[in-house]
Amino acid sequence: MAAHALETRGLTKAFGGFTAVRDVDLAVRRHAIHALIGPNGAGKTTFFNLLTKVHKPTGGRILYEGADITAESSAAIARRGIVRSFQISATFPHMSVRDNVRVALQRRLGTQYRFWQSSRSLAVLDDEAMRLLADVGLAEAAEAQAADLSYGRKRTLEIATTLALDPPLLLLDEPTQGMAIDDVDRIKRLIRRIAEGRTILMVEHNMSVVADLCDTITVLQRGEILAEGSYAEVSRDPAVRAAYLGGGHLGGTHG
Amino acid sequence: MTSTQKIFAALVLAALVVPFVPGLIYPIFVMKVMCYGLFACAFNLLLGFTGLVSFAHAAFLGTAGYVTGALMIRFGAHPLGVPAAFAAGVAAAALVGFAIGGLAIRRRGIYFAMITLALSQIVYFLAVQFRWTGGEDGLQGIPRGSLLGLDLASDTVMYYVALALFCAGFLFVERVVHSPFGQILQAVRDNEARATSLGYDAGRFQLLAFVLSAAVAGYAGALKALVFGLVSLNDVSLHTSTEVVLMTLLGGVGTLLGPLVGAALVVGLQNYLATIGDLVTVVIGLIFIVCVSFFRRGLVGEFLHWRRRRAERARPLPAREPPVVAKVA
């Protein structure tokens, strides 16, 4: 087994003349919760998009469990077990909440190309879909259309859908963005619970979430790694303090 | 039984008695509606369930028509001539669909539509050039042959066979929509990025949907060649490709019955207003303008929407959480 679940070596992405991500070497320990923070425009989302193949890297390599996955497609790395959540909620709006989860579970059946079979054959997944929904507190909304859910519940549904794939590596893109304080606490508890036996890499602006949850924090600035370490180490780092509000206190929410 | 299945069953029951009342409605006319209805269902399978607009569907209808027709002319007398010619026609349409879809699927939106348009013009060109397609003349006098010992030359026999084939085609489309594949197709249409992040290759699902849609369009084309005994350049023309867009939008895109209603409407107008000549095109154009301006969901789509709204109003409001009352110590 490789020492790290996920590793990037010299990962670089340039858009024309602008380098959004420059020479990033990142190593995510297995079963850790690892946060990626940094001011707006630091390249966090671009970095995520490189990991999930939304963008092709200009240079560098991406290794998952020791295997080079730099050239693989988005769908292929999802099948390897790297599943991401999105910055804005990503559900299937015209499907019921239960069907949203079922779509993810369906991959395991391997029937996704069977156009001749009745969709009743998917009913075998209903129990598990309901269990996952109960797990995140959405069971009573199972029959509702995903489009009708509140923002916080859409994000919760997205996490339930992601968990349905039982992914060893979860990439969470701002899981608590735009949430009310109660929802933030609920998501925090949920993330801590699902981190059991999984590796999580997340982009997060809410420092209280980062401080409470994350083992390792990497600070990006202008596409480069500025500092890395535990919350205590990073928040003492003068360079990080300078980057955040010119030496201001590293805490609170940086939108 | 879903309400769609109930309405479809009622339509089929009504269709069963058509040959007994020739004074009311011509069986030949109903067969034409069935052919175009299937064609529109095929188009709707793509537009309604993947959101992709194709201007190549006449190429699939025509290809299957030519292949089935040419084979019937040569081997129509053979007892297995009809099923073999039919299968070959559908397979040819699926193959052309695979080629056109495979090239077009790499692009999105208007570029996708334009690639299908350009490639279907190539099919049209080939249909003019080839000798086996009859060039400008098309194929005429295609024999109907026989099926399971039944002589299809009789209009009544042909009618019931066509009705059975029509039902099979419609139920096939319904099955595709309500299949494990259809479920993922809907997910891809709803949120392509999310479906991809769950491990589904969006392009593959769209390509398979394209090929299935082409195959069903081919099925309609093969049936049409058999029923009317002729295949012409009109069948592979851009005009036919746009007509099917019109039928689908009029009836209601994304609904299963909409394309049938749209096809019946357009074919009906063309038939019963034939006396006013080219003005039919103007009438259909005006109806289309009214439809996209005021009934954007199409006839069936608007009906379903109205029924859903009514059901929602009838349902009592969801129970609110009880108000918090301060406890008096």
Mutate to test the interface with A, among B198, B308, B317 (most CBs of A within 10 A): B198
B196 → closest Cβ in A75, A94, A117: A75
Q: Check CB contact under 8 Å for B178 and A118.
A: yes
- pLDDT of B43 > 90? The answer is yes
Q: Check CB contact under 8 Å for B194 and A111.
A: no
CATH superfamily of A4-91+149-243: P-loop containing nucleotide triphosphate hydrolases (3.40.50.300)
A130-183: pLDDT as tens digits: 988 988 888 888 888 888 888 888 888 988 898 888 889 999 888 888 777 877
Inter-chain CB pairs, A–B, below 8 Å = 98
B71-85, B287-301, B307-321: which has the minimum mean pLDDT?
B307-321
Across A119-128, B146-155, B278-287, the highest mean pLDDT is recorded for: A119-128
Surface-to-core class of residue B168, CB atoms within 10 Å of its CB (0-12 exposed, 13-18 middle, 19+ buried): exposed
Query: What's the average model confidence in pLDDT over B11-33?
Result: 85
What span, in angstroms and rounded, lies between the C-alpha atoms of A126 and A129? 5
Residue-level pLDDT at B316: 56
Query: How is domain B7-313 classified at the CATH fold level?
Result: ABC transporter involved in vitamin B12 uptake, BtuC (1.10.3470)
Q: Note the ipTM here.
A: 0.78
The distance of A147 to chain B (nearest Cα, Å) reads 11
A114 → closest Cβ in B181, B190, B204: B181
Q: At what angle do helices B202-228 and B27-50 cross, to 10 degrees?
A: 170
B168-188: pLDDT as tens digits: 999 999 999 999 999 999 999
Residue of chain A minimizing CA distance to B202: A75
Residue ranges per domain, chain B?
7-313
The distance of A81 to chain B (nearest Cα, Å) reads 9
What span, in angstroms and rounded, lies between the C-alpha atoms of B267 and B28? 12
Residues of A near B (Cβ–Cβ under 8 Å) read 52, 54, 73-76, 78-79, 83-84, 86, 90-95, 99, 102-104, 106-107, 109, 111-119, 121-122, 161, 165
Residue of chain B minimizing CA distance to A161: B198
Q: For B217, how many CA atoms within 13 A lie in the half-sphere containing its CB? A: 34
Region class of A44: left (phi > 0), else alpha (psi between -120 and 50), else beta: alpha
Mutate to test the interface with B, among A51, A52, A53, A103 (most CBs of B within 10 A): A103
Residue ranges per domain, chain A?
4-91+149-243
Buried b / exposed e across A13-47, counting CB within 10 Å, b at 16+? Answer: beeeeebbbbebebbbebebbbbbbbbeebbbbbb
What span, in angstroms and rounded, lies between the C-alpha atoms of B256 and B4? 7
Closest CA to B221 of B100, B67, B108: B67
Chain A residues in contact with B182 by the CB 8 A cut-off are 115, 119
